[in-house]
Structure 1
Amino acid sequence: MSLPINNSNINNNIKYRIKSQNINNSSKNSAVKNNTVKSRQSFGAAADVLTSVFKWCDANPVGGVIAIDIVSTDIPRTYIDLKTAGPAAAVETVRREFSGTFVDCIMPGFIVLGAGKLLNSAFMKKFNTDMTSSWASSEALDKLASIYKPIATSVSTDKTRDFVKNTLNSIKGFNTDAWVDFAEKIPKNKMNEIIDKLTGIINNDKLSRKETQKALNEIYKNITHETSCSNTIKFKGDKKEYGSNLADLLRDTVELGRKFKNDKIISNLDDFIKKSKKMLTAKSLIGLAITIPIAMSLQSINRYLTRKKYKVEGAPIYKDFEKGNANHKKMDDKEKKIFWGEKILASIGMTGLAALSLKKKPSLSMLQFNGLFPSMDQCRIISLVTFISRLFASEDKNELREAFIRDAISFASFYFMGALKVLQLCLKNTIKM
């Protein structure tokens, strides 16, 4: 006996199932595509963020050091000391690491700014101008003045534009493995657009500092997009590299371009440049003269606060510190003498590390502040003082060894390699994980 079969229903069911399956497959494929698109968008957004971070660190090396130091050093060391040695060690670590970052990299520029405010009338009264917040280096003052000098005596109807044009057309930038001539690399119409914008900024004295910086950032972005050069530049005909980066040069071009419109300055240009350099040196030395003693005293103050709170002698690097620190032993005169010698040797080692990290021979120009943040070389000098003071504040051999290793690693990673390389290594290791 056979069952009655409805072929029409079966065919309809098969068609429905096939259609449903196709719809489901289509939905799944669509979902996969959407997820792929979203993943690509997320990756693209992350890549854009990382690119922005790399560019910022490249243009602001000390700012990169500060940010990476806080995230990768200050916070982790505080956490580790809290877990391994207790709250006394953690509190001292917080004070040591964060105060060190502040004094070494942030505070000096504000002291120099204040010194400039006090010195301006003494140096600039003759020219009726304010150089308080000027960060143009001696090299920038000489170079930009030499470009403007022949223009000042010319019959040009737009001397500011000629100054900007001659400056930009004189620059070369280093791109990976070769020097790039800006005048040749940047298309003529694009270069004229950049020149016009930069000239407009100089001529518009009513622009606020924030508006000026925003406009300069746009010009910087356009130039680096065309040339892929930002950090290492030089002027045509010069054998050595220019001491500042592209961002600083654009800043100084605008600042001095505005000053060069002052008749009192142009009629005494050589004297203006001479006094500007003297003022820069004076305010920089005042800033360092105040900063370095503070850096030297940081760890002693830090240890004093720890003793005052816990009423315990010795270094808070041991687990039992709050209970009396049984690990601390008083040294006799012979042991103190040997320990003092060990501190001196450790300090010599740290000084040698600092000397090797310097990119050029020490000079007076190295001490000049060319921005609100100290230069990398200035940070190396101030940090060296800070690190040596920590070595001499050590109370036993274990603390001396710990201080030397800890700060030598910090010195090597940030001041030898630079923030950008450290960030790249961190990213590389993270991706591998």
Structure 2
Amino acid sequence: MRIAMIGTGYVGLVSGACFADFGHQVTCVDKDAGKIEALRRGEIPIFEPGLDELVASNVKAKRLDFTTDLTAPVAEADAVFIAVGTPSRRGDGHADLTYVYSAAREIAAALSGFTVVVTKSTVPVGTGDEVERLIREANPSADVVVASNPEFLREGAAIRDFKFPDRIVVGTDDERGRKVLGDVYRPLSLNQAPVMYTARRTAELIKYAANAFLATKITFINEIADLSEKVGADVQQVARGIGLDNRIGSKFLHAGPGFGGSCFPKDTRALVKIAQDHDVQLRIVEAVLGVNDIRKRAMARKVSNAVGNLRGKTVAVLGLTFKPDTDDMREAPSIPLVTGLLDMGAKVRAHDPVGMEQAKKELPEIQYCDDPYECVKGADAMVIVTEWVQYRALDLDRIKGAMAQPVVVDLRNIYRPEDMAAHGFTYESVGRAT
């Protein structure tokens, strides 16, 4: 099948490359001419394990190409996916649909023959209705079905998630639309991936509800971590104890500095705004957002409590991205942490395996180091913020010898307190007694 993918951001590029790998003919479209030229040269604008090889192999096989002009790809396509950004709107937290609606109008002018237009971007309930209205208004004769097909990709594991999904949600009541999208995803039938067909508005809400629920699990275990510290319990054992209940499950029960990234903060805020627009209060989701924001800011105080007065002290921060295996800095817990440390008068040095170039845009005032051992040299505290595998097996004797004070604040609980004590560190973690 022929597919046009509008947008070459995280979702568009991963989805386009995977569809091409299924054997479909895919053209990815973006207005950023510089990005398109870079993609044609094989330069990938985001860090995602395996994506560069996947793009290169499908470009070589002539199943994947890139352009700035959507006219021909849309006219030839069986399915057109809208995968543009929907950032939080400045000032009110609503999803900004400017790029979605702009894409819909441009797509309408280029349609030829029966086409399924699919919103792949995360969009509020009812967006598909407006996309359909805009297309029919711009091109009344268009033979088109507008469907919703939300993505459920984890950064750092996106290719596997796309090829071995928990579910595929297709939102349309039109049989022709269901058939086209069934054919698009048919290669996944060997993996027995369940395809769930729903009404369009239901599909739109599924994505928001899923992200809000996962964000709630993270925030819940973070609050239990705070209680664990006060009562002398171990939050990791608490999480295991409740996670073994198959009604709850163990995923997203890892205590830490709070959730970040491109999805959970943005989507939970947008879901609250959607509810408010319909005179519904989502008190649990509202509380999740508030607790998460407070938690991120509180991490700097946790460092201060471990070290004492931070004025003039040097703090080494290991890990800047919001999670491992990505260079994504959007709403990363490291940002309010570092800002708080600077406000307390600390000097901050930082290391991240792939995220430092992105981090420099958010945190230009700190020093960046080429490796963790350089980062901790002369530091009064080392703070582990992102659980990169590179930080899980550090030479602790070398770390201690390089530091001015052997203080470690482990916000991801990647080390055992008894091991750190044996190496002579003052060790603080999350949800475990000091």
Task: Tell me which protein shows more strand as a share of its residues.
Answer: 2
Q: Does the pair score TM above 0.5?
A: no
Task: Tell me which protein shows more helix as a share of its residues.
Answer: 1
- Highest Rg: 1 or 2? 1
